[in-house]
Amino acid sequence: MPTRTLVTASLLLLALSACTTSPTGRSQFLIVSPASAIQQSRGAYQQAVDSFRGEQKIADQPQVDSRVRRVAGRVVTAATQQYPQSSNWDWSVVIVDDDEVVNAWCMAGGKMAVYTGLFEQLSLTDAEFAQIMGHEISHALANHTAERMSRAMAIQLGLAAVSAATDGSGSAGQSAELLAQVALELPNSRTAEREADGLGMRLATLAGYDPEAAVTLWQKMAALNDDRPPAFLSTHPAPDDRQANLNRMIPTMRALNPTGSRLGATAITIVD
């Protein structure tokens, strides 16, 4: 393809990717559609699970399984009630046996991972764990996976166009599944983080957990050894005012579920 044509096609693709509205009402510029993000995340998730399995890192701890199933299941119930389209997702979680890693994530379509380091290093209460799962699930509900995949694709297209313009190969053959994997490692924007903070607190509160746990959770995160910060922070930048923002939201969140009534837990698949 001639250089000018490749550059024009790349820019046209970006221009034709219309702004869409996220489930939270925010305008999003997406190259990768939410449906495509869900489809490609399935393959990326399976690759991650296969890697954990090959390294013998899938936890076999019945008590942890039960706790994740109970707490995450209640948050998923709140998610599906608030966002009915997610009731068709294949909700599943792999519990990674790695006490050194403080991390959790949720891909598009409800594909989740929880690392045992969360429990070992943070001594989480159920309410604090619910805040983590609410936050992670919110990233999926709000199409943040699709946003990060779109960022990765935009960078790829830009590099291909520059390469072609300088008589390089202009290759743009990165697979969609690889984009989904790359998206997991990209940091979320401040906007996405604020969105997941608010929505995550809402889901955890509706599920029956104390919203104040969002603040104590981040206090525990901040108290971890500075020489070995939690992996969670590599994709979840923590602005200095985060705890203050969370604290301001507590009264509004409490009003959503004044009695703290607990939802039933949606059945989620524990990957073994």
Q: Which residues are catalytic?
A: 136
SS (H, E, C) 200-243: HHHHHHHHCCCCCHHHHHHHHHHHCCCCCCCCHHHHCCCCCCHH
Residue 247, C-beta contacts closer than 8 angstroms, at least 6 positions apart = 215
Residue 18, C-beta contacts closer than 8 angstroms, at least 6 positions apart = none
CA distances (Å), 108 to each of 7, 146, 178, 216, 237, in order? 30, 8, 14, 27, 20
